[in-house]
């Protein structure tokens, strides 16, 4: 099956670390992991909630030590994403998760950045990088890391907010987002994944984000939904992630089609594909099978993804034209 051109807007590069690569890097870097083999590691991929996933996600990062490790992970993602129809990717990484392990920012940025710099030539996928901040850590640390990223000239176009949501509301990071905005960076934040609709409102009104990552709990608040429709706020929804982390029972129960039909500006993304059972094409296939996603829905999702991207107008128009040609 050929895939429509698509912009992947909600993707954590550390969430693309497949079990095979975890084990290979553990050997290469002489890092001990508590799993005998790939099968044993894969068996640990059964999650109760966001926190149970985050525990494994951060633990597996122990194998990422050298620039080449980050580069290999990024290359593997781009090759797989290209096969899924991704033609542009806005990739998040978690600088603090590496700093706390003693891996310098330069190692992370060099490893990921070296691959992104040639992604269009090598994979046919244009890319930008977004630094995501861990909301379960304090704002002072985030401010320091942002300053260090900017001072180092890290090739980031924006910042995001991720990790454990409940109890860590967006307003905790008001100064971080103000500083990033002043530096000319784009702003996105996870909100309404496990947390309440009120966090979505706060991300918009206090952080002034341009996109909401997830946002499915917006559906609990009719007034918020009306606002999101009126303002056409982009929402990057990740169905296989929501099912894996038990925010939604099954794909058949996922609100994404209802969100589309309500007029919300949603697009579908893969979040942490190595952990949640699939890449962008797998998410779309699951929705097609279990939720009756139609060809028209798929075209709308692809168009929404490109329009919600931070691409300059000419590349955006070119991708929209390719979607139109591919869907005719």
- Which parts of this chain interact with ligand ADE (CB under 6 A)? 12, 15, 50, 57, 162-163, 190, 193, 241, 271-272
- The dihedral through the CA atoms of 228, 229, 231, 234 has a sign that is positive
CB of 54 to ligand ADE, least distance (A): 6
Phi, psi of 33 (to 5 degrees): -115, 150
Hey, which residues does 59 pair with through a beta bridge? none
> Among 90, 271, 281, 303, which residue interacts with Zn ion (rule: CB under 5 A)?
271
State the binding partner of 281 from ligand ADE, Zn ion, none, CB within 5 to 8 A by kind: none
State the binding partner of 177 from Zn ion, ligand ADE, none, CB within 5 to 8 A by kind: none
Q: Binding segment for Zn ion among 78-86, 170-178, 198-206, 269-277 (CB under 5 A)?
A: 269-277
Smaller CB separation from Zn ion, 122 or 136: 136
Written as one string, the DSSP assignment of 236-259 is: EE-HHHHHHTTSSS-GGG-THHHH
User: If residue 132 lies in a helix (H) or strand (E), which one and from where to where?
Assistant: strand 126-134
What stretches of the chain adopt beta strand conformation (E)?
6-12, 86-93, 126-134, 156-162, 186-191, 211-214, 235-237, 266-268
Smaller CB separation from Zn ion, 18 or 23: 18
Smaller CB separation from ligand ADE, 164 or 229: 164
Lookup result for tokens 């869907």: 327
Site string for Zn ion, 93-132 (x = CB under 5 A): ----------------------------------------
Torsion of Cα atoms, 243 then 281 then 128 then 182, to 10°: -40
90 catalytically annotated: no
CB of 323 to Zn ion, least distance (A): 24
Written as one string, the DSSP assignment of 259-274 is: HHHTT--EEE--BSHH
Smaller CB separation from ligand ADE, 51 or 327: 51
Smaller CB separation from ligand ADE, 57 or 199: 57
CB of 271 to Zn ion, least distance (A): 4
> Residues 193, 194, 202, 303: which is the catalytic one?
193
- Return the closest-CA partner of residue 23 out of 50, 7, 1, 44: 44
Phi, psi of 185 (to 5 degrees): -90, 150
Please tell me whether residue 5 adopts helix, strand or coil conformation. Answer: coil
State the binding partner of 90 from Zn ion, ligand ADE, none, CB within 5 to 8 A by kind: none
CB of 292 to ligand ADE, least distance (A): 25
CB atoms within 10 A of CB 249: 10
CB of 106 to ligand ADE, least distance (A): 22
Tell me which residues are annotated as active site. 193
């Amino acid at each position: 099956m050929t895939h429509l051109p698509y912009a992947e807007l909600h993707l954590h590069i550390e969430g693309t670390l497949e079990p095979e690569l975890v084990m290979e890097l553990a050997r290469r870097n002489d890092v001990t992991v508590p799993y005998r083999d790939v099968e044993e590691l894969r068996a640990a991929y059964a999650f109760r909630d966001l926190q149970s996933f985050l525990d494994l996600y951060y633990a597996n990062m122990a194998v990422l030590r050298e620039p080449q490790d980050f580069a290999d992970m990024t290359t593997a993602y781009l090759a797989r994403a290209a096969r899924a129809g991704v033609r542009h990717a806005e990739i998040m990484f978690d600088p603090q998760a590496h700093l706390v392990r003693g891996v310098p920012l330069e190692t992370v940025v060099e490893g990921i950045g070296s691959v992104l710099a040639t992604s269009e030539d090598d994979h046919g996928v244009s890319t930008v990088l977004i630094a995501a901040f861990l909301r379960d850590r304090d704002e002072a640390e985030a401010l320091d890391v942002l300053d260090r990223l900017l001072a180092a000239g890290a090739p980031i176009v924006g910042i995001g907010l991720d990790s454990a949501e409940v109890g860590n509301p967006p307003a905790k990071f008001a100064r971080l987002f103000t500083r990033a905005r002043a530096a000319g960076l784009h702003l996105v934040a996870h909100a309404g994944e496990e947390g309440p609709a009120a966090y979505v409102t706060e991300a918009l009104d206090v952080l002034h984000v341009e996109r909401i990552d997830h946002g499915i709990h917006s559906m609990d608040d009719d007034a918020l939904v009306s606002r999101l429709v009126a303002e056409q706020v982009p929402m990057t929804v990740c169905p296989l992630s929501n099912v894996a982390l038990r925010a939604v029972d099954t794909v058949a129960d996922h609100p994404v089609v209802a969100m589309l039909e309500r007029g919300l500006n949603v697009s579908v993304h893969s979040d942490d594909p190595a952990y949640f059972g699939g890449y962008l094409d797998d998410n779309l296939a699951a929705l097609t099978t279990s939720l009756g996603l139609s060809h028209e829905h798929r075209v709308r999702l692809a168009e929404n993804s490109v329009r919600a991207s931070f691409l300059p107008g000419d590349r955006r128009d070119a991708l929209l034209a390719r979607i139109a040609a591919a869907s005719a």
